[in-house]
A and B are shown apart, each in its own frame.
Chain A
Amino acid sequence: MSAGQIDTALLRAAQREFVEKILPGLTGENRYTGAMLKRALDVLLAQATSETAPDAVPQAAGFGAPGALAAALRADRTAPSPALLSALRGFVEAKLRISNPKFLEETRNGPEGARS
C-alpha cells in the first residue's frame, strides 16, 4: 500500500465492528456521538470506494473544475444553459452519493422531492 492510499478493507472492518459491537452499548450523549461516528465512517468508506470524484463531473462536461466554474459564474451572470444545470446536478448527486445517499434517494422518490 502506497502513501495516501486508504485501506478500504480495514476501514470496512472497523466500521462493521463499531456498528455491531460498540454502538449498541452506547447511551445518552455517547449514543449521539457514536451515531455521528458511524456516519463519518460511512462517508469515508464511500469516498474511498467511489468510482466518480464529484469534482470530475463538471470537468467531464466541459465546464472546468468546480472552483473555476464558480469564478466563471460570478463573473458572467447570464442565465444557465440546460447543459450547465445538468452538469451541476451531476456534481451535486456525486457529492450526495458519498455524503448522504439516502437523501438523494428520498429526493428522487419523495412526494415533493423533485419540486420542493
Chain B
Amino acid sequence: MATDLAPRFVALGPWLQGALGARSMAIARMEKLSGGAIQENWLIELVVEGGPRAGAQAWVLRTDAPSTISTSLGRPEEFAILRVVHAAGVTAPEPILLCEDAGVIGRPFYLMARAGGSAQGRKLVRDPGLASFGPALAERLGAELAKLHRVRPPVADLAFLPVPAGHPALTRIARYRADLDALPEGHPVLELALNWLEANAPPPNGVVLCHTDYRTGNYMVENGALTAILDWEFTSWSDPDEDIGWLCARCWRFGNDALKVGGIAGLDPFLKGYEAASGRQVDRARLPYWQVMAELRWAVIALQQGERCRSGTEVTQELALTGLMAAEMELNILNLIEGAGA
C-alpha cells in the first residue's frame, strides 16, 4: 500500500523505480527520524518488484538539513566514504543509491540500509545493562575503528579529501585558529589550548582514514551490541589517535564521566579491541593531548553554533544554548592541561 508523500517527495518514487531497475515500486512508509541538526534522515519502507533489490526494503534516506556547517561534507562525498568503509569491512550502513540531481527532492540525497537499535547516547550511558554489555561494546568499537584506520591514502574514490601536508595536529591547530578568527569575540582559554597543543604536539603516527566524529551518539546499539557506525560527514585523513581522543573526551560521555570511552566503558577493553585488530600499540600518554584537541574542537563548534543565533542567521534557543556549552569544554581543557603539568 503506497503512502501519501509530502510534496517534496512526489518525484522520489519514479526516480527510485528507474534507479532500481524495478518493474514497479511502492513507498509504503516514510517518516522523518529524530536528531540530525545538520542532516535530515528519513526512514523509507518500500516494496520493489523486479530488479536486483526486489522485495520489501527498509532504508534510510539522508539529505542536507536546511542549515549545515562548513566542515561537513556533502552527500555525494559521504556516499563515497560509505562505499569505501563498507568495503573495508567496517560496520557501516550499506550504501544503496546516490542521487545528485537536486531536482528530485530539492537537494542531493542517498539511500542506505537501515540499522536496528538506537544511537541515543544519553539513553545508552544510562542503560541498566551497561555494566554487562559496555566492555564488550567498547572492545567492538575498538576493533571497528582499527578496521577503519587500516585505510590509508591515497584512495582514488576519496580524492576529494585533502591529505594533511604536514603534521595532522598542526594542521588542525591552524584550522581552529582560523575558525576562532571568524568569530566576533576572542576566547582566551581556547587560545591557551591552541598554544599548548602547538607546544606539545607528539610525533605524528602517520595518516589514516579517520571518522572524525567517532563517539557515543554516532553508533547504533541494539540489545547491547553494535549494529552500525553512522554520521560519516566529517571523515578526514588524520592521526589515528585523533579518533581515540574524540571518543574518550569527557564532552562525549554524556555525564557518565567515570567511564572514559564514551561513557560506556573504561579504556582497557576498547584498547584491547583496537590493538588486537590494528596490530598497533596505542601510547596512552598521548591520549590527553588528543582529548584537549577534542574539547577544543567541540568548543569551537559550539561557539560557531551560538554565533549562528547571535548573528541572526538562524535564531533558535537550541543554537544559543549550544554556544553557552563552550564553557564546559573550556573547564575540561584547563583540567587536562593542568593535569598534564601545563
Other A-B contacts than A77-B198, A95-B324, A96-B327, 8 sampled, CB-CB below 8 A, are A37-B317, A43-B324, A69-B188, A85-B338, A92-B189, A99-B324, A106-B255, A116-B336
Chain A binding site: helix, strand, loop or mixed by DSSP? Answer: helix
Residue of B177, B257, B260 with highest tally of chain A CB at under 10 A: B257
Bound complex: CA of A89 vs CA of B195, how far in Å? Answer: 17
Query: Could you give, for residues 169-208 of chain B, a 1 whenever the CB lies within 8 Å of some chain A CB and a 0 otherwise?
Result: 0000000010010000111111110011011000000000
Question: How far, in Å, is B72 (CB) from chain A's closest CB?
Answer: 23
Bound complex: CA of A5 vs CA of B335, how far in Å? Answer: 36
Question: How far, in Å, is A69 (CB) from chain B's closest CB?
Answer: 4
Residue of B192, B198, B199 with highest tally of chain A CB at under 10 A: B192
- In the complex, the chain B residue whose C-beta lies closest to that of A88 is B189
Chain B binding site: helix, strand, loop or mixed by DSSP? Answer: helix
Q: List 10 A-B contacts (CB under 8 A).
A: A40-B320, A70-B185, A80-B342, A88-B192, A91-B189, A92-B330, A92-B331, A100-B324, A104-B331, A107-B332
**Number of A interface residues in the complex (CB < 8 A):** 41
Which residues of chain B come closer than 8 Å to A80, judged between CB atoms? 192, 195-196, 342
Which residues of chain B come closer than 8 Å to A103, judged between CB atoms? 328, 331
Flag if B192 contacts A36 (CB, 8 Å): no
Flag if A93 contacts B195 (CB, 8 Å): no
Cβ < 8 Å to B, chain A residues 72-96: 73-74, 77, 79-80, 84-85, 88-89, 91-93, 95-96
Given A77-B195, A91-B188, are A116 and B332 neighbors across the interface (CB < 8 Å)? Answer: yes
- In the complex, the chain B residue whose C-beta lies closest to that of A97 is B327
A63, A66, A116: the one contacting B335 at CB < 8 Å is A116
Which residues of chain A come closer than 8 Å to B336, judged between CB atoms? 115-116
A111 within 8 A of B: yes
B177, B185, B318, B320: the one contacting A67 at CB < 8 Å is B185
Bound complex: CA of A58 vs CA of B338, how far in Å? Answer: 18
B297 within 8 A of A: no
Flag if A39 contacts B321 (CB, 8 Å): yes
Flag if A116 contacts B186 (CB, 8 Å): no
Flag if B187 contacts A66 (CB, 8 Å): yes
B189, B198, B330, B335: the one contacting A115 at CB < 8 Å is B335
A114 within 8 A of B: yes
Flag if B335 contacts A85 (CB, 8 Å): no
Flag if B324 contacts A116 (CB, 8 Å): no
Which residues of chain B come closer than 8 Å to A93, judged between CB atoms? 331
- In the complex, the chain B residue whose C-beta lies closest to that of A84 is B192
Flag if B321 contacts A66 (CB, 8 Å): no
Flag if B192 contacts A113 (CB, 8 Å): no
Bound complex: CA of A74 vs CA of B181, how far in Å? Answer: 11
Question: How far, in Å, is A59 (CB) from chain B's closest CB?
Answer: 11
B339 within 8 A of A: yes
Flag if B177 contacts A74 (CB, 8 Å): yes
Bound complex: CA of A107 vs CA of B258, how far in Å? Answer: 11
Bound complex: CA of A112 vs CA of B330, how far in Å? Answer: 16
A62 within 8 A of B: no
A1 within 8 A of B: no
Which residues of chain A come closer than 8 Å to B342, judged between CB atoms? 79-80, 85
Which residues of chain A come closer than 8 Å to B331, judged between CB atoms? 89, 92-93, 96, 103-104, 107
A71, A85, A95, A111: the one contacting B186 at CB < 8 Å is A71
A68 within 8 A of B: yes
Bound complex: CA of A4 vs CA of B286, how far in Å? Answer: 49
Flag if B317 contacts A66 (CB, 8 Å): no
Flag if A116 contacts B291 (CB, 8 Å): yes
Flag if B185 contacts A112 (CB, 8 Å): no
Flag if A36 contacts B318 (CB, 8 Å): yes
Question: How far, in Å, is A96 (CB) from chain B's closest CB?
Answer: 5
